[in-house]
A and B are shown apart, each in its own frame.
Chain A
Amino acid sequence: MPTSNSSTEPAIEIAGLAKRFANGVEALAGVDLVIEAGSFVVVLGPSGAGKSTLLRCINGLETPSAGRTIVEDRSVEKRSLRSIRSHVAMVFQHFNLVGRLNVMTNVLCGRLGKRSTLASLIYLMRKDDLGVARRALDRVGLTDRAWDRADRLSGGQQQRVGIARALAQEPSIMLADEPVASLDPAISEEILDLLSEIQKQGITMVVSLHQVDYARRYAERIIGLNDGRVVFDGTPEALSDAVLETIYGRRNGSNGLAHG
């Protein structure tokens, strides 16, 4: 269950976050951000802007070179990863399911953070965990495919399984890293609608996208990222063409992928 419905309490605080990769690429060059609980935030920007890296720093999949992240009053570091990850769920661009396992087992993965038993190693889980998984599956509308192998599902269905897995964690925060980049438009909208409904039920939603129209439609707040820096932070209404140019423009002055 989400911890708090108060929209004034920060769920995520990011201060001075920077990340330089081993090959010299500077993905994040100093990001300061506060995300309130229960909001729908879209991180918008071209590919390579650092959107993925930003999200992955929040749940510890990347370790920043500088700065820190505080999630629900806990600092993200090696020791706290397990407890943070039990409240922060992630949805991936390429779904990241275990293809050979059935849908229900994939969704059950979401419960692993809460159960570190020996029994879980042989796939023996508590019935209440199975109940949570089943409810999550029902929420995304895939109960009838529960026992099918995950790699037999279509792209959109697999992403819904990914979302169910995230829901099974009973998270307070959900991070979606380019959740619809691999899906066609009709399905993309279904997925984003689903994420929007989930957010309305009280889960903080942070979604990274590169499609401007989706950002405009679903976000309560848009954070424009370019070259690892925040270049815009405001409502969708404030997203003018001039602003878009700062988001999608390249350092050398040429224009990137600005779609209207």
Chain B
Amino acid sequence: MQSSRPFTDAGMAAMAWPTASGLPSRAVVLGAVGICVVLTAALSMLELGRGGFLASLGRLFEYVGNIIATPDWEYAPTVASKMLETVEMAFLGTALAVVMSLPLGLLAARNSAPHPAVSHTIRAIMTTIRSLPELMWALFFVTAVGLGPLPGVAAIALVSIGYLGKFLAEAIEAVPDAAVEGVVVHGANRMQVRFYALMPQAWPDFIAVTFYVFEHNVRAATVLGIVGAGGIGYDMTMAMRLFRYDRLALILLAIYLAVTILDRLSDRIRARVI
């Protein structure tokens, strides 16, 4: 088996692509060029760190090295309880969102809303809610109700309603008209149509997405503590400010473990329930 040396002059002339012209297709070339142009333009907009890119990377490796060094195991119980609080926040927020997005999703779907104005308004509200990150909402709620896990739960719930509501609405809209007709023909009124034709079809997908949303919320909950909205984020900020790398190591480990375990659990349960 020979391997050729394709990059000599004679070599290049002897090679071609498997297309009618011997060159890559126009779509591929345009796409590649386009991407390069966009990325180069973007690069010029990014002012990269002082001292250059490599120096920054060097500092990063040094920092990571510090963290991996010696974890402070005595800190473990505190970390565990804060992690538990974080997970509980995510759970509450998700549960609340599920409950509240059911009626909202029904109202937002064009084929189950009592009036198009209703569906449009609710859709718009949900889009607005979604466009702000949980962190900003948490900040907003902290100013209203003070520090603690409540603003965190509220922020998570609110953003999740935005996502779940939109998803449910789309799932309901995707229900084929035939299914609705089958029920209407037997004299069902609007409410009955919603519960017997629309929800049963949209339900399984909705449940599946709920799990994904929960997985996302656990991650979101870990950082809300930065603004005082409960959870392990606050401890993490403190550890970084005080250069307590040993505690930081434990916190990161706890987050990784919690997220991974919950992800696996959530996948298993989802597979059983669907």
Question: Interface residue tally of chain A, by bracket?
Answer: 20 to 34
Instruction: Please count how many residues in chain B sit with their CB below 8 Å of the partner chain's CB atoms.
Output: 13
Which B residues touch A240, using CB under 8 A?
A: none
A114 interface hit (Cβ, 8 Å):
yes
Can you list 18 residue pairs at the A/B interface with Cβ under 8 Å?
A: A83-B1, A102-B18, A104-B19, A105-B18, A113-B1, A115-B3, A115-B4, A119-B6, A123-B24, A124-B6, A125-B17, A126-B15, A127-B15, A127-B16, A130-B16, A133-B18, A146-B20, A147-B19
Smallest CB gap from B20: residue in A: A147
CB contact between A123 and one of B1, B2, B3, B17 (< 8 Å): that residue: B17
B14 touches A114 (CB 8 A): no
Smallest CB gap from A123: residue in B: B17
Among A82, A102, A115, A119, the one with the most B-chain Cβ atoms within 10 Å of its Cβ is: A119
A123 touches B18 (CB 8 A): yes
Given contacts A117-B6, A119-B6, contact A125 B16 (CB under 8 A): yes
A124 touches B16 (CB 8 A): yes
A17 interface hit (Cβ, 8 Å):
no
Give bound CA distance, A133 to B19, whole Å: 12
Task: List residues of A (80-133) whose CB comes within 8 Å of B's CBs.
Answer: 82-83, 86, 102, 104-105, 108, 113-119, 123-128, 130, 133
* Chain B proximity of A194: nearest CB distance (Å): 23
Give bound CA distance, A125 to B19, whole Å: 11
A86 touches B1 (CB 8 A): yes
Given contacts A114-B1, A124-B6, contact A119 B18 (CB under 8 A): no
CB contact between B2 and one of A102, A108, A114 (< 8 Å): that residue: A114
Give bound CA distance, A224 to B104, whole Å: 68
Additional pairs, 18, CB under 8 Å, beyond known A115-B1, A115-B3, A126-B15:
A83-B1, A86-B1, A102-B18, A104-B18, A104-B19, A105-B18, A113-B1, A116-B1, A119-B4, A124-B16, A125-B15, A126-B4, A127-B14, A127-B15, A130-B16, A130-B18, A147-B19, A147-B20
Which A residues touch B6, using CB under 8 A?
A: 117-119, 124, 126
Give bound CA distance, A126 to B17, whole Å: 9
Give bound CA distance, A116 to B16, whole Å: 16
B18 touches A126 (CB 8 A): no
A126 touches B1 (CB 8 A): no
Which A residues touch B18, using CB under 8 A?
A: 102, 104-105, 108, 123, 125, 130, 133
CB contact between B15 and one of A113, A124, A133 (< 8 Å): that residue: A124
Smallest CB gap from B21: residue in A: A147
Give bound CA distance, A117 to B24, whole Å: 18
Task: List residues of B (1-47) whose CB comes within 8 Å of A's CBs.
Answer: 1-4, 6, 14-20, 24
List the 5 closest A-B pairs by CB distance, nearest first.
Answer: A105-B18, A119-B6, A104-B18, A127-B14, A147-B20
Give bound CA distance, A108 to B16, whole Å: 12
Smallest CB gap from A86: residue in B: B1
Given contacts A117-B6, A147-B19, A147-B20, contact A82 B1 (CB under 8 A): yes
Given contacts A125-B15, A126-B15, A127-B15, contact A117 B20 (CB under 8 A): no
Which A residues touch B1, using CB under 8 A?
A: 82-83, 86, 113-116
**What sequence of 0s and 1s flags, for each residue 205-246 of chain A, a beta carbon within 8 Å of any chain B beta carbon?**
000000000000000000000000000000000000000000
Give bound CA distance, A224 to B18, whole Å: 42
Smallest CB gap from B6: residue in A: A119
Smallest CB gap from A105: residue in B: B18
Which A residues touch B2, using CB under 8 A?
A: 114-115
* Chain A proximity of B6: nearest CB distance (Å): 4
Which B residues touch A128, using CB under 8 A?
A: 14
Give bound CA distance, A124 to B2, whole Å: 16
Give bound CA distance, A102 to B24, whole Å: 13
Give bound CA distance, A215 to B18, whole Å: 37
Which B residues touch A118, using CB under 8 A?
A: 6
B14 touches A117 (CB 8 A): no
Smallest CB gap from A108: residue in B: B18
Which B residues touch A105, using CB under 8 A?
A: 18
Give bound CA distance, A116 to B3, whole Å: 6
* Chain B proximity of A161: nearest CB distance (Å): 13
A119 touches B15 (CB 8 A): yes
Which B residues touch A86, using CB under 8 A?
A: 1
Task: List residues of A (122-178) whose CB comes within 8 Å of B's CBs.
Answer: 123-128, 130, 133, 146-147
Smallest CB gap from B14: residue in A: A127
* Chain A proximity of B194: nearest CB distance (Å): 41
Give bound CA distance, A118 to B1, whole Å: 14
Which A residues touch B17, using CB under 8 A?
A: 123-125
Give bound CA distance, A114 to B4, whole Å: 10
B16 touches A117 (CB 8 A): no
